[in-house]
Amino acid sequence: MEPSTRADLSRTWALVPIRGLETAKTRLGGNLDAEERRDLVVDMLRRTLVATRDAGRIVGTIVVTMDPDAAGIARDNRAVGLVERVPGLNGAIAAARSVAVARGATAVVVLPADLPGISATVVDALVEAAAVGVAPRTAGLVVLVTDQHGSGTNALLMSPPNVIDPRFGVASRDVHRSAAARAGATFLEGDGPLALDVDTPDDLVVAEAALGAIHG
């Protein structure tokens, strides 16, 4: 392959997809009212942006959203706020990836804004583990952190940024692993704090037990 297609983590950008502040986490409606859900979403988005802003291995962050208010929070935290109307999560991530590539990204890491265990240290550890695990002339690299159920994807690092396409959704761990194999890319899996997300009432209970109250 040409050198430009090889894994390179020297300019890693974070991509943070979030549908909107009012429309996210509707499955928590039985536990939180609309104002509490919005507060939770805003808190987790800010937590994510502080982590990527302060991480030494992250060059820049792009928040891709349909919500101008979420884009404003991104800009308040020195991130790019990309308001994008393409349908679906994977289309939004692909749009953000294109912006990152245009800004010189050699790698991207997708970090959904619902990971309460995120921190700058955790993000740096993910990128550093990828750097250690990849051979010097690896054609491509995919690093995945699965969710606590072992079937989804909570974080996805790709170098080059287009080595595979994002395929978040049902059983996405296996879908991403298969895509990496077809691309001839090295596939690595990580765990740790990024394995915890907040998507259901049960997830909220586990997150609060592990990290203290994250809303209110």
- Fold (CATH) for 3-211: Spore Coat Polysaccharide Biosynthesis Protein SpsA; Chain A (3.90.550)
Nearest Cα to Cα of residue 161 among 111, 94, 113? 94
In DSSP terms, which residues pair with 107 in a beta bridge? Answer: 12
Q: What is the pLDDT along the chain (216 residues), one digit of tens a residue?
A: 333 467 899 999 999 999 988 665 555 545 566 777 788 889 889 999 999 999 999 999 999 999 999 999 999 999 999 999 888 999 999 999 999 999 999 999 999 999 989 999 999 999 999 988 666 556 799 999 999 888 999 999 999 999 999 999 999 999 999 999 999 999 999 889 999 888 776 777 776 666 666 554
**In the chain, domain spans:** 3-211
**3-state secondary structure at position 48:** helix
Q: What is the pLDDT of residue 131?
A: 87
Nearest Cα to Cα of residue 92 among 106, 104, 81, 76? 81
